[in-house]
Amino acid sequence: MQDFGLVSIITATYNSSRFVVETIESILAQTYTHWELLITDDGSTDDTLSVVQSYMAKDDRIKLFCLDKNSGAGVARNHSIAQAQGRFIAFCDSDDCWLPEKLEKQLAFMFEKDAALSYTSYYVQNEQSRRTAKVICQATINYWAIRADDGIGCLTAIYDTQKLGKIYMPEMRKRQDWALWILIIQRCGIAYGLQEPLALYRDLRRSLSSNRFSLIKYNVAVYTDILHYSKLKAYAWFVFIFMPTYLTKKLRIRLTKLV
């Protein structure tokens, strides 16, 4: 197997003991083995730390860092990015999983496309780990498209620091991953999507991100704080561009629900 270089996998944890075992096991099962898993815990009060430490004792590619206080996923991810030694930065949240050939296939795809940023399609799974839908990604995303809606699943994204340097997530409480893709595509112009599903996104209905109405202010903040649009322009983009694109995407997901 070709060695494309070290991949630094960025994982934030917060009271993740229920699912983090599946996440780590999916990383350990990768056919591409030149990786490090950098887990930053965001102040967990359950037994997440002991679960992660049990894996650290068995595999020195797994590293754990702890924040002094709960600061949000963006801050936790950035802490791991700061520690990363790899050429490639990849993301996998502590309730999500990868399929075994994810890294092997996606890195080969990145070299084929000469891509600075890539992403893949993915499956949606419920809390019982049953697959419920399939999200087919766009083949490419340019600067216009990434501003219209976040078409990149965070658990699928990989960027190349050799082409871009390290780029950190803006420290917003939510939507910081979308903001990162915008910043990256501002630099590289285009991102490439491998349309084979290679990851499993866990849909937790009670999570903050599942409350779409509460996310309106965070969506608008991407336009005002990252793109520096006026409030009027930001709300116009949200209402007339973001929402139609988002609703079309959700309809596609509904149509691809798995029986």
- For 183-222, the pLDDT digits (tens) are 999 999 999 999 999 999 999 865 444 456 667 899 999 9
The model's pTM is: 0.94
Rounded to whole angstroms, the Cα distance separating 97 from 185 reads 25
Is residue 56 within 8 A of residue 20, CB to CB? The reply is no
Rounded to whole angstroms, the Cα distance separating 131 from 151 reads 20
Q: What is the CATH number of domain 7-205?
A: 3.90.550.10
Going by pLDDT thresholds of 50, 70 and 90, the confidence category of residue 2 is very high
Work out the burial of residue 105: count CB atoms within 10 Å of its CB; fewer than 13 is exposed, 13-18 middle, 19 or more buried: middle
Rounded to whole angstroms, the Cα distance separating 220 from 209 reads 15
Helices marked H in 40-148: 48-56, 73-83, 102-113, 143-148
Q: Is the pLDDT of residue 62 over 50?
A: yes
Determine the pLDDT at residue 250.
Answer: 83
Going by pLDDT thresholds of 50, 70 and 90, the confidence category of residue 130 is very high
Radius of gyration for the chain, computed over Cα atoms and rounded to the nearest angstrom: 17
> Closest Cα to residue 77, out of 184, 172, 204, 188?
172
